[in-house]
Structure 1
Amino acid sequence: MKKRIICLTFILTLVCSSLAFASGYSRSITAYFSNIKVSLNGKTLNFSNEPFIYGGTVYVPLRDVSESLGVNVAWDDRNNTVYMHDDSSLGYTNSSSEIEMLKNQLKAKDAEIDRLKKDDDDDDDKDLEDLEDKLNDDYDRYTKGRETLKFKYDLSQRSNGDIKVKMTGDFDRTSSAWSRREPSRFRDFIEDTVCDKIRDEFREDIEITVYDEDKDTCGEYEYDYSDRKLEKDYDEYED
Structure 2
Amino acid sequence: MFKKQYLAIASALILTTTLIPTSSQAATGTKNLQAKYNNIKVIYNGAAVPTTIEPFIVNGTTYIPLRMMADVFSKDVAWDGTKYTITVKDKPNSQHASELAARDAQIRTLQGTIDSLNKQITDLKNSKSSRDDDDDVQDDLDDLEDQLDSDYDDYEDIEWKFTLSGDEDDIDVEIAVDKDEFEDEYDAMDDSDFEDLVEKVVEDIWDEFEDADIEGEIVDSSDDDDELWDFSADASDEEITFDGSVIN
Query: Same-fold call, TM > 0.5?
Result: yes
| 1:230 partner SS | strand
Question: Which residue is 1:151 aligned to?
Answer: 160
Residue type at the aligned position of 2:164 = L
Deviation at 1:181, TM superposition (A): 1.3
| 1:168 partner SS | strand
Q: Which is worse superposed, 181-190 or 121-130?
A: 181-190
Q: Which is worse superposed, 96-105 or 180-189?
A: 180-189
Q: How do 1:1-239 residues align onto structure 2 when only pairs under 5 Å count?
A: 2=16, 3=19, 6-8=79-81, 30=83, 32-37=85-90, 45-46=92-93, 95-143=108-156, 148-157=157-166, 161-172=169-180, 175-192=183-200, 194-202=201-209, 203-212=211-220, 213-214=222-223, 215-233=225-243
Partner Cα separation in structure 2 for residue 33 and residue 94 of structure 1: 39
Question: Which residue is 1:25 aligned to?
Answer: none
Deviation at 1:209, TM superposition (A): 0.8
Deviation at 1:45, TM superposition (A): 3.0
Quickly say closer, same or farther: Cα 1:34–1:6, change in 2 above 3 A: closer
Q: Normalising by structure 2, what TM-score?
A: 0.55
Quickly say closer, same or farther: Cα 1:31–1:201, change in 2 above 3 A: farther
Deviation at 1:178, TM superposition (A): 2.6
**Larger CA Rg, structure 1 vs 2:** 2
Q: Is the 8 A contact 1:221 1:233 kept in 2?
A: yes
Deviation at 1:129, TM superposition (A): 0.8
Q: Name structure 2 gaps, 5 residues minimum.
A: 1-14, 20-65, 67-77
In terms of fraction of residues, the more strand-rich structure is 1
Deviation at 1:46, TM superposition (A): 4.9
What is the percent sequence identity of the aligned residues?
28
Quickly say closer, same or farther: Cα 1:96–1:224, change in 2 above 3 A: same
Residue type at the aligned position of 1:209 = E
Partner Cα separation in structure 1 for residue 212 and residue 84 of structure 2: 80
- Taking only aligned residues, the RMSD between alpha carbons, in angstroms, comes to 3.7
Deviation per CA, 1:87-139, whole angstroms, max 9, x where unpaired?
xxxxxx96222112111211111111111111111111111111111111122
Residue type at the aligned position of 1:132 = E
Partner Cα separation in structure 2 for residue 187 and residue 181 of structure 1: 10
Quickly say closer, same or farther: Cα 1:216–1:104, change in 2 above 3 A: closer
Deviation at 1:234, TM superposition (A): 6.0
Q: Name structure 1 gaps, 5 residues minimum.
A: 9-28, 38-43, 48-64, 71-92
Partner Cα separation in structure 2 for residue 36 and residue 210 of structure 1: 91
Q: Is the 8 A contact 2:158 2:182 kept in 1?
A: no
In terms of fraction of residues, the more helix-rich structure is 2
Residue type at the aligned position of 1:32 = T
Partner Cα separation in structure 2 for residue 173 and residue 231 of structure 1: 28
- Kindly tell me the number of residue pairs found equivalent between the two proteins: 165
